[in-house]
Structure 1
Amino acid sequence: MRTDAQRSSCQSTVHRGVAAVGVAGLVSPSSSSYGSTLLEEMALTVALVLLLQTLTGFVLLLSLQWLVRRPDRITRWAALTLALLLVTAAPLNYDPVGQVPRSIRILSVLDTDTSDALVRAFEARTGIRCQVDPLQGGARRSAELLLEERLQPDLMLGGTAEIHQMLAAAGVSLPVDLTGDPARITDFDPASRRFTPIYAGYLALIYRPVTDFSVQTPDWGALIDPERIGRVSLPSPASTSGGVVFLATQLLRQPEAERGWQYLGILGAAGVPWEARSSDVITKIAGGEADLGVSWAHDAWRRRKRDRLPIEVVIPPRTGYEIGAVSALRWARDLPATREFIQFLTSQEAQQIQAEVGLRVPLRTDVATPGYLGPGRATVGGPDQAFYDREVVLREQGAWVQRWSDEIDAPR
Structure 2
Amino acid sequence: MADELSLVCSAEQDWCDMMVAAFEAEQPDIDVLMVRKSTGETLAQIRAEAGNPKIDVWWGGTGDPHLIAAEEGLTQPSGADTSELLGWARNMADISDGRAIGIYAGALGIAYNTEILADRNIAPPQCWADLEDPRFVGEIQVANPNSSGTAYTELATFVQLFGEDEAMVKLAAIGQNVNSYTKSGSAPSKAAARGETGVSIGFMHDMVTLAAQGFPLAIVAPCEGTGYEVGAVSIIEGARNFDAAQAWVEFALRADVQSRAPEVGAFQVPSNANAQVAPESPDLASIKLIDYDFATYGSSETRERLLARWDAEVGDPNPQ
TM-score by length of structure 2 reads 0.86
Query: Is 2:101 the counterpart of 1:196?
Result: yes
Provide the residue aligned with 1:397 in structure 2: 303
From 304, 308, 323, the counterpart of 2:230: 323
Provide the residue aligned with 1:248 in structure 2: 156
Q: Is the 8 A contact 1:184 1:346 kept in 2?
A: no
Out of 193-202 and 354-363, give the one that drifted further: 354-363
Identity of aligned residues (%): 23
- Flag the structure with more relative contact order, 1 or 2, with Cα contacts below 8 A and sequence separation at least 6: 2
Provide the residue aligned with 1:208 in structure 2: 113
What is the distance in 1 between the residues matched to 2:193 and 2:164?
A: 32
TM-score by length of structure 1 reads 0.68
SS in 2 for 1:322: strand
Higher strand share: 2
How many angstroms does 1:269 deviate by?
4.1
Residue identity opposite 2:92 in structure 1: F
Could you say what the CA RMSD is over the residues aligned between the two structures, in angstroms? 2.5
SS in 1 for 2:257: helix
After superposition, where does 1:100-249 map in structure 2 within 5 Å? 100-127=1-28, 128-135=30-37, 138-149=38-49, 152-179=54-81, 181-182=83-84, 185=87, 186-189=90-93, 190-209=95-114, 210-211=117-118, 218-249=126-157
Q: Deviations over 1:232-289 (max 9, x none)?
A: 11111111011101111111112x3322121112123445532111122023212323
After superposition, where does 1:78-117 map in structure 2 within 5 Å? 100-117=1-18
Task: Find the structure with the greater CA-based Rg.
Answer: 1
What is the distance in 2 between the residues matched to 1:322 and 1:184?
A: 14
How many angstroms does 1:144 deviate by?
0.8
What is the distance in 2 between the residues matched to 1:253 and 1:409?
A: 20
Higher helix share: 1
SS in 1 for 2:186: helix
Q: Is the 8 A contact 2:40 2:149 kept in 1?
A: yes
Q: Deviations over 1:86-113 (max 9, x none)?
A: xxxxxxxxxxxxxx11221111111122
What is the distance in 1 between the residues matched to 2:134 and 2:26?
A: 54
Closer, same or farther in 2 for the Cα pair 1:349/1:108, shift >3 Å? Answer: same
What is the distance in 2 between the residues matched to 1:378 and 1:362?
A: 14
Matched pairs, number: 305
SS in 1 for 2:234: strand
Out of 266-275 and 317-326, give the one that drifted further: 266-275
Out of 385-394 and 209-218, give the one that drifted further: 209-218
SS in 2 for 1:171: coil
What is the distance in 2 between the residues matched to 1:216 and 1:402?
A: 32
What is the distance in 1 between the residues matched to 2:222 and 2:261?
A: 23
How many angstroms does 1:162 deviate by?
0.6
Q: Deviations over 1:161-195 (max 9, x none)?
A: 11112222222211111135345542332342111
Q: Is the 8 A contact 2:58 2:233 kept in 1?
A: yes
